[in-house]
Amino acid sequence: MRIAGMGTFLQEQPTALTEYDEPLVRQLIEKVTVYEDRFTVEFKSSVTVNVDR
């Protein structure tokens, strides 16, 4: 159900984001963890992405 709701939300969004969108960020991201040499983004769908500097 959560993924279906996220899919609907994403379909309603413009395809080209040109500025920060607070509601979109709050809808998609569970948390961001910052480390000394990288950060990790955990999405509400439980997908985790590591970003190196």
Looking at residue 21, what is its pLDDT? Answer: 84
- Structural domains of the chain, count: 1
Can you give the residue range of the structural domain that contains 15? Answer: 2-52
Looking at residue 36, what is its pLDDT? Answer: 94
Structure tokens at 18: 């040109």
What's the rounded Cα separation, in Å, for the pair 2 and 18?
Answer: 26
Number of DSSP helices (H) and strands (E) in the chain, helices first: 2, 3
| End-to-end Cα spacing for the chain | 35
What's the rounded Cα separation, in Å, for the pair 9 and 5?
Answer: 6
Looking at residue 50, what is its pLDDT? Answer: 93
| Residues of the chain falling short of pLDDT 70 | 1-3, 6
What's the rounded Cα separation, in Å, for the pair 10 and 19?
Answer: 16
- How long, in residues, is the chain? 53
